[in-house]
Amino acid sequence: MLLDLRQVALIADYFVVCSGQSARQVRAITRDVIKAIKEAGQHPRMVEGAPESGWVLIDFGAVVLHVFSPEVRTYYALEELWQEAPVVVRIQ
């Protein structure tokens, strides 16, 4: 899911929220996104969390990627917390 935060928050322009079904998938998503961004000549500002915790946050400045396990995504419910932010893209 891609949330447009530009009108509701100052912390980032967009949140990307996605899930991996296991710590291994969360790790793979995180690794591959960082690799693709670096190949494009950019670098993440910060990476927080660990796949085993169920939540990895990658800060690219204007875009923040949240990679969750399903359980942790349900618990933190970022989509509900930022419900005023328009959904740009939703992929199931």
Identify the CA nearest to 48 among candidates 58, 38, 40. 58
Rg (CA), the chain: 13
- What beta strand segments (E) does the chain contain? 2-4, 14-19, 46-50, 55-59, 63-68, 87-89
Q: What confidence score (pLDDT) does residue 92 get?
A: 77
pLDDT tens digit at each of 92 positions of the chain: 999 999 999 999 999 999 999 999 999 999 999 999 999 999 999 999 999 999 999 999 999 999 999 999 999 999 999 999 999 999 87
Query: Do the beta carbons of residue 67 and residue 20 sit within 8 Å?
Result: yes
Q: What is the pTM of this model?
A: 0.93
| Domains, the chain | 2-89 (3.30.460.10)
Termini Cα distance of the chain: 8
pLDDT at 54: 97
